[in-house]
Amino acid sequence: MNHIFLSLSFVFLLFNYSCGQDSKNRIALSKEAAEYQLKEVLANNKLHNIINSKDKIIKNQETLISVIEPILFDIYGKKNIEDQKPYGINDFGNYYVVNGTLDKNYIGGTFLIIIDKRNAQILKMTHGK
């Protein structure tokens, strides 16, 4: 019952304060409420969750790139990853396997990332030498 009240309170506050653009007049989820939401989803991630095992949240290659590039840039360096364009993208139903490419005369490694389209979970990420 308490989680229903908390969820409804959050929706009410979000609705009432979502129209303004001034950050001084905005309200965010408190740390305690955020922690409660985290514990709820870890205990039962089926509660009011749009992510399921059937629908895909990464529906196209543009979204895929927008999800993986910031992660790859942060870990391996932006220039390094951008030098590996165009990316090799293979679509296997619920999964994308993406790798960097190199010029034919270049010796070295590239990144490899495997991501689940249904929940954006990275299943594998590596970089060869």
Tens-place pLDDT, residues 21-33: 566 788 888 899 9
Going through the chain in order, the beta strands assigned E by DSSP cover 88-92, 95-99, 111-116, 122-127
Rounded CA separation 64/1 (Å): 38
- Placement of tokens 């929940």 in the chain: 119
Residue 64 burial (CB < 10 Å; 0-12/13-18/19+)?
A: buried
pLDDT under 70: residue ranges of the chain: 1-23, 45-53
Please name which of 62, 53, 61 lies closest in space to residue 91, comparing C-alpha atoms. 61
Counted residue by residue, the chain has a size of: 129
* Tens-place pLDDT, residues 82-95: 999 999 999 999 99
